[in-house]
Every structure is written in structure tokens, then in C-alpha cells.
Structure 1
């Protein structure tokens, strides 16, 4: 599925960096569980391509991007590598409470010379980021995530989230507690998954 990344109009330099990031993940996964063992042989499609596809849903004007629960750098490091080419002045923040994974993220930032920083704290305790974009992948249910999103998004910001086959149920549950604008996009890597672009998050009781 490398052509799916090529469709994002990335340069050969960016493609090479993404391939080098794949190799870095493979190396570190020998000692840290960065990705599920069942997906280690399919990192490119299951993780890198899956992460890269969200980049086009960020507004062209974004300057700050916060990735919450960054784990092994999916999607955070992937989109930060892509941003070097398309948004070279934008800054990224990765929030990851696991110290070993935070160390990996800092290593990736140095390796690929990214404009990024890591907060090794819990998402709900980190300083509010007021980010233009907040991303998350395989974190928690949508309704539980909204307080985190509201904490770290700017009022005009957009959340771009990976959601699996239960996305319809999660949206329905979230609407009981929250008001929000939603756009759903088909996933390029899983026909049952969706990319959710969410704005205007407010508590239903406000």
C-alpha cells in the first residue's frame, strides 16, 4: 500500500524517512512492545499507511498538532515526518505517560529532526495544549475521549481520530453526553474502520 502514501504527494525524502522509521520501530520493538506482536510483520500497512492517511484531514492552516496516547509514534511521528515537507514551521506535541515509549518518541524526534516535544504525563494532567489539531489512535472510547480532546483542542481546532468497526455505536453513545460536528471518512486500510473529523465539542449540559 505504499502508493497510498504516494497519493499524499510526499517526496522521495519523506518516503525514505518513513521507511527508516519503520526500521526504527522494528528495532525497538524487540525490547519494548511498541506494536502488537501480531502486526510486527505488517508495520507498513497496518501502522504507517494507516497513520499517514489522516494527514489530509488536517486544515492547511494548522500550526500546532498534539497527538494523545502516542505510544509507538502512530500516528504522531508519521504525520510529523510528513509535515516537515508540507508544514515545516508547525510544531508537534506527543503526550505519552509510559516512560519507555516516551524515550522512544524522543529518539525518533532526534533521528528525524522533527519540530516536536514529548510530555511523559497522563493526558488529563498535561498542560492544555490549545492545539489546532489533536489526533489519537486506538486510545479509548469516543465518549471517554472527549474530555481529553476538549482539554487540548483550541476552540476552533479539529480532532482527527481512528475508529474501528464499532464507530457507529461510539458516536451514538457520545451524542448522549456531547454536542459536536462530525465528518466520517472511509479508512484506506480497513473497510470496517473510519476516520472521524470532529469539531465544536461541547458538553450536552452546557
Structure 2
């Protein structure tokens, strides 16, 4: 069933969090709206539906993260989805999120949120992922609305180990992208239905390797 919260109260009903976390989400929302009015963080048309399109869409990934995963690398973090929002709601004591974003202005937003909300579990990296093989090994690699699957796998491979899990959020063309990537890549894929869009799919991918 597709869920469509439109306020903090409805979000918490769909995705229960503590009062402290709820207060942080409210503070994040204020910062997001302020910056989104001045900077193209996300499509302007999606700001009104942010509680569903961006907040719950990001939060639904949290239960998929393995408990032992400590090092999360997010590719093309943009307006903070999914990884900055995940860091905001994640109470794992040893987990750290590395947000890789090449656009400096978007990194300025990410940094302001991390500082004002005291997110000690976040590192903002203003660089291209191809330039940061030092982020290896990631326990989990995440990406949302960044690139086609084949390109995402190429980004992820240099920072992956045999234990790395990729979580890529895909729309209605997920199966087409999987078919196209299968000629270049070997991988084990688990599909998770999206809570926010009936045609969207969350791809959980393990054991990636180039096809010989």
C-alpha cells in the first residue's frame, strides 16, 4: 500500500520515531524549506509533497540496513536524500554516513543541517565519487535519482568489498535497467516494493562484479 503523509504528524504515524527525533525532523524541515526556496535542492514541484516524496521515501530504507553495517556511503547526496535524512533518524550508535556530492552549494546545505542539528554521524565530501576510492570499504552504498544502474554499479565497485550491499532507489524502469546492466555486470538482486510509489522499486544488490 502506498503511504502519503503530508505533515510531521502523519509522517510519525507512518514511521514512528522518538520525540527527540521528531523535533529534529521539524528542524530539518524548516532548514530544507528555507534552502529549497533559494537553491535547486530538489525539483520545485516536489517540495509540497516532501513528506512523502523525500522524507518517507528516504526513511523506508532504514529497516533494510544490516545491523552490523557501520559505514554508509551515499552517492550524489544532493538535497540530503536519502542519506542525510537517514542519519537524522538513525539511532545506531556506531553507524556513520559519508555523503558524496560534487556541487558545492548543495554541500553547503548539507553541512548547515549537520552542524545545526548536531549530526555527529555525518561527513560531507565535496567531490566526485570517482575521485574517492579511499572511501572503501563501504558496508552499504546508497543512491537515489543519480544515474542509471550500470553507472551506479561502476561508481560502487571501487569502494566495495565482498560484504558490501548496495541500495539503489529506482522508478518504473527498474526492470529495464536491470536487463541492460545484466550484460555488463554480475550481481545478486533483491527487490523491495516502495512505500511511497506503486511503480517504484528499491534494489538491494550484493556481490557485484563485472561480467567477463
Secondary structure class of the residue paired with 2:176:
helix
Q: Does 1:132 align with 2:145?
A: no
Deviation at 1:132, TM superposition (A): 0.6
Partner in structure 2 of residue 117 of structure 1: 123
Distance in 2 between residues matched to 1:5 and 1:131, nearest whole Å? 30
Distance in 2 between residues matched to 1:151 and 1:122, nearest whole Å? 13
Deviation at 1:16, TM superposition (A): 2.2
Deviation at 1:88, TM superposition (A): 2.0
Secondary structure class of the residue paired with 1:128:
helix
Secondary structure class of the residue paired with 1:41:
coil
Q: CA RMSD in A?
A: 1.5
Partner in structure 1 of residue 99 of structure 2: 94
Q: Is the 2:55–2:85 contact (alpha carbons within 8 Å) kept by the matching residues of 1?
A: yes
TM-score (structure 1 length as normaliser):
0.93
Structure 2 counterparts to residues 16-55 of structure 1, below 5 A:
16-55=23-62
Segments of 5+ residues of structure 1 without an aligned counterpart are none
Segments of 5+ residues of structure 2 without an aligned counterpart are none
Dislocated runs of 4+, deviation >2 Å: 1-10, 152-155
Partner in structure 2 of residue 107 of structure 1: 112
Give per-residue Cα distances to partners, 1:99-120, cap 9 Å, x unaligned: 0001111111112222111111
Partner in structure 2 of residue 194 of structure 1: 201
Q: Does 1:66 align with 2:73?
A: yes
Q: Is the 1:52–1:79 contact (alpha carbons within 8 Å) kept by the matching residues of 2?
A: yes
Partner in structure 1 of residue 170 of structure 2: 163
